[in-house]
C-alpha cells in the first residue's frame, strides 16, 4: 500500500507502530530519532507518509519535519505526529511546519490505519 517512514526514539513504540502498519499492508522505514529520520528521508526515493514522535533526543519531530519539507520531493508528503504532548501551541507550530495530523499517544490502531487510508485516497485523487 504505502511506504511509511516512522520516527520514534522508543523501540517499544516503534514495534507497536510497525505491527499496526504491517497489518495494514504498509512497508516501513524506521528511524530512532529526528536526525536519522532526516537522513532516511534524504536516502529514500519513495516515502508516501511520515509518522513521527515529537519529543526525541537530538532533533524533535517538528524540526525534522521542517527540514524534510524543505526537500522538493517531500513538499507535499503527509506527516502525522504521534506524541504524548497536548499543547495547543505545539499543535499550531506543527501545522505551520506542514504536519497534517496530531495524534495523542496511545493511539487507536484502527483509527490510525483509517487516517492513512483517507490520506492516500485523497492524494491519489489529486494526481
Span 51-89, pLDDT tens digits: 999 999 999 999 999 999 999 999 999 999 999 999 999
Q: Which three cell numbers stand for residue 107?
A: 493511539
Question: Which pLDDT belongs to residue 121?
Answer: 86
pLDDT band at 125 (very low <50, low <70, confident <90, very high): very low
Q: Which three cell numbers stand for residue 20?
A: 499496526
Mean pLDDT of the chain: 92
Q: Quote the pTM value.
A: 0.93
Length of the chain in terms of residues written:
127
Instruction: Report d(CA 18, CA 24) in Å as an integer.
Output: 10
Q: Identify the sign of the CA torsion 30, 65, 20, 104.
A: positive
Phi, psi (5° rounding) for residue 79?
-130, 130
Spatial CA neighbour of 54 closest among 12, 91, 17: 91
Cβ count near 101 (within 10 Å): 18
pLDDT band at 122 (very low <50, low <70, confident <90, very high): confident
Domains and CATH numbers, the chain: 3-119 (3.40.50.2300)
Spatial CA neighbour of 14 closest among 27, 30, 34, 37: 30
Q: Which three cell numbers stand for residue 5?
A: 517512514
Amino acid at each position: 500500500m504505502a511506504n511509511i517512514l516512522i520516527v520514534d526514539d522508543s523501540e517499544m513504540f516503534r514495534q507497536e507502530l510497525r505491527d499496526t502498519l504491517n497489518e495494514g499492508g504498509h512497508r516501513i522505514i524506521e528511524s530512532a530519532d529526528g536526525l536519522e529520520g532526516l537522513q532516511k528521508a534524504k536516502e529514500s526515493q519513495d516515502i508516501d507518509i511520515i509518522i513521527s514522535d515529537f519529543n526525541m533526543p537530538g532533533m524533535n519531530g517538528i524540526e525534522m519535519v521542517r527540514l524534510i519539507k524543505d526537500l522538493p520531493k517531500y513538499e507535499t508528503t503527509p506527516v502525522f505526529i504521534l506524541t504524548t504532548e497536548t499543547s495547543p501551541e505545539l499543535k499550531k507550530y506543527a501545522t505551520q511546519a506542514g504536519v497534517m495530523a496530531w495524534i495523542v499517544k496511545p493511539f487507536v490502531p484502527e483509527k490510525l490505519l483509517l487516517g492513512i487510508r483517507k490520506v492516500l485516497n485523497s492524494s491519489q485523487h489529486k494526481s
